[in-house]
């Protein structure tokens, strides 16, 4: 029962990701695409340090290591 709940929850999240991305790609949409949101976050800098860029790329590196090497 709890396992089905977890699977259902994660599937719901994935479907929602796809649905919002689909809505973002419609003509005249006011929702930015996931790529645009990522690009905006990656622009964040503290002084000369590209904190957003380092954080995002580092997170993605860790994610790949976590799923594909662990």
Partner 1 sequence: MDHPRELTVEAPRAWDRPVVSVPVLICLSLVGGQLPSFSTQANLYTLGTGGALIWIGLSNRVPRRPAPHRLPAGAAWWLLPVTVFGVFEGTTFVLSMGDDFPTFSLLADPLLEDHLVRSAAWFAWLAAFWGLVRR
Residues that bind partner 1 (CB under 8 A): 2-3, 5-7, 9-10, 12-14, 16-17, 19-20, 23-24, 29-32, 34-40, 42-43, 50, 53-54, 56-58, 60-61, 63-70
Residue 54 token pair: 């380092």
**Minimum separation from the CB atom of position 46 to partner 1 (A):** 15
Alpha carbon distance 19, 15 (integer Å): 6
Residue 56: closest CA among 41, 66, 36: 41
**Minimum separation from the CB atom of position 39 to partner 1 (A):** 4
């Amino acid at each position: 029962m709890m396992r089905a709940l977890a699977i259902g929850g994660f599937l719901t999240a994935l479907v929602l990701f796809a649905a919002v991305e689909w809505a973002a790609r419609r003509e005249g949409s006011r929702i930015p695409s996931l790529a645009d949101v990522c690009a905006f976050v990656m622009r964040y800098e503290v002084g000369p340090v590209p904190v957003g860029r380092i954080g995002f790329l580092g997170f993605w590196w860790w994610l790949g290591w976590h799923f594909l090497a662990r």
